[in-house]
Amino acid sequence: MQQSLAETVVVPQLSPTARRRQLREKAIAGIITVMAFTGIAALVLIIVFVAKEALALFTDAHAREEASFSKMFLPQVARQGRPPTFTWQPVSSIPKVSMIPLFIGTLKTTLVSMLVAVPLGVAGALFAAEFAPRRLREFLKPIIELLAGIPSVVLGFFALMVLATFLQDTFGFTYRLNAVVAGLGLALAIVPVIFTVAEDALTAVPRSYREASLALGATPWETAWKVVLPAAAPGILAACVLGFGRAIGETMIILMASGNAAIVSPSLGDSVRSLSATIAAEMGEVVVGSPHYSLLFFIGVELFIFTFVLNMVASSWTKKVLKRLTGGAS
């Protein structure tokens, strides 16, 4: 927009100073445009270099034997005469590299955190956008921002030191650190995400919708529940998807509060090991270039792909809500 303005104003002149000036402008615009590629380049480099280190799983014979796809995803007989199991034990005389316990662990913590964070975040956003007096709302938003600003290592610390003891005393868990503790810690991290995105979607609903509904005799809650919430639904779903993606990728909280035991079980009271925490815990001691090292990068690729897909879905839904509302109203 500004460029078209500049073009109409700067009439081409032939004096050497003017030409030099034009040349300089072009150079500056060029440099700025090149800089804009950095974001794209970063994203491409991330996937390329994480995938590159994982590539050995497919090309290197030793790695292919030690960590083949069947060993990663199918049950394996660890010892002769025992039933086949899913075991993650990459450092051992016979490495066992099943990813199933890690998937289960990630899903368990994510499930707990979503069960807590979605109702809290969405309800809180509905309150802030529809029911709260303006003063309260102005107070609520910075508070949530503050919660979003807490480093995850502090949330992990809080879950480890305070939540874990409290929950064990209250519910009598066998293991002090488990999926519930980690999931609740995780919920603290994703509530602000869900709240912020959902609140944005709700406030994007034009005032005319509300006024029309109220004019027809609906009460404020009927308006909120039957008009505003459905109108903002894709945005709220996007908020949940974003929260889900954050929960899958979050590392420090789970690393500190989950117990880090790769167990296959349905119980939420057992310790779990997540994909992200596995990378964090094992990358420090691994031999560079070994199958185990490639395996950890392979987990990184999985995490990248999961979150990439979730992000694309969420952003397309957010766009949908904006398009629907602005397109419909004006």
Partner 1 sequence: MKHATRRTVGAALTSLTGLAALLIVAMLALILLDVLRGGAGHVTWEFLSQPPSDGMMRGGIFPALYGTAALTLLMTLAVMPVGVLTAVYLHEYAPPDSRLARWVRVAVVNLAGVPSIVFGLFGLGFFIHFVGGGMDRAMGYQTMHWAQPSILWASLTLAVLTLPVVIVSTEEALRAVPLDHRTASLALGATQSQTLMRVVLPGALPGILTGAVLAVSRGAGEVAPILFTGAAYFLPDLPTSLNSQFMHLGYHTYVLATQSPDIEATRPLLYATVLVLLMLTFALNLVAVIIRTRTRRRSANAH
Work out the angle between the directed axes of helices 179-203 and 100-126 (0-180°, nearest 10): 40
Check binding of 216 to partner 1 (CB under 8 A): no
Check binding of 49 to partner 1 (CB under 8 A): yes
Taking the complex as a whole, the smallest distance from the CB of residue 321 to partner 1 amounts, in Å, to 15
Q: Pick the closest to residue 152 from 254, 248, 239 (CA basis).
A: 254
Check binding of 263 to partner 1 (CB under 8 A): no
Residue of 88, 173, 175, 195 that binds partner 1 (CB under 8 A): 195
Check binding of 91 to partner 1 (CB under 8 A): no
Taking the complex as a whole, the smallest distance from the CB of residue 87 to partner 1 amounts, in Å, to 23
Buried b (16+ CB within 10 A) or exposed e, 320-330: ebeebbeeeee
Taking the complex as a whole, the smallest distance from the CB of residue 154 to partner 1 amounts, in Å, to 6
Check binding of 103 to partner 1 (CB under 8 A): no
Q: Pick the closest to residue 69 from 106, 98, 101, 89 (CA basis).
A: 98
Check binding of 2 to partner 1 (CB under 8 A): yes
Check binding of 232 to partner 1 (CB under 8 A): no
CB 25 within 8 A of CB 12: no
Check binding of 128 to partner 1 (CB under 8 A): yes
Distance between CA atoms of residues 7 and 19, nearest Å: 14
The nearer residue to partner 1, 75 or 103, going by C-beta atoms, is 103
The nearer residue to partner 1, 145 or 211, going by C-beta atoms, is 145
What are the structure tokens assigned to 70, written together? Answer: 């069947």
What are the structure tokens assigned to 206, written together? Answer: 């034009």
The residue range among 71-79, 84-92, 188-196, 205-213 that interacts with partner 1, by the rule CB under 8 A, is 188-196
Check binding of 23 to partner 1 (CB under 8 A): no
What are the structure tokens assigned to 326, written together? Answer: 């602005």
Check binding of 58 to partner 1 (CB under 8 A): no
Residue of 31, 74, 94, 216 that binds partner 1 (CB under 8 A): 31
Check binding of 28 to partner 1 (CB under 8 A): yes
- Report which DSSP code applies to 269: T
Burial category of 76 from C-beta neighbours within 10 Å (exposed 0-12, middle 13-18, buried 19 and up): middle
Report the alpha-carbon angle 131-134-140, nearest 5. 80
Q: Which residues pair with 88 in a beta bridge?
A: 97
Residue of 140, 261, 264, 268 that binds partner 1 (CB under 8 A): 140
Taking the complex as a whole, the smallest distance from the CB of residue 265 to partner 1 amounts, in Å, to 23
CB 294 within 8 A of CB 67: yes
Check binding of 307 to partner 1 (CB under 8 A): yes
Taking the complex as a whole, the smallest distance from the CB of residue 80 to partner 1 amounts, in Å, to 36
CB 201 within 8 A of CB 315: no
For the chain, strand residue ranges (E) read 88-89, 96-97
Check binding of 323 to partner 1 (CB under 8 A): no
The residue range among 77-85, 94-102, 202-210, 306-314 that interacts with partner 1, by the rule CB under 8 A, is 306-314
- Report which DSSP code applies to 96: E
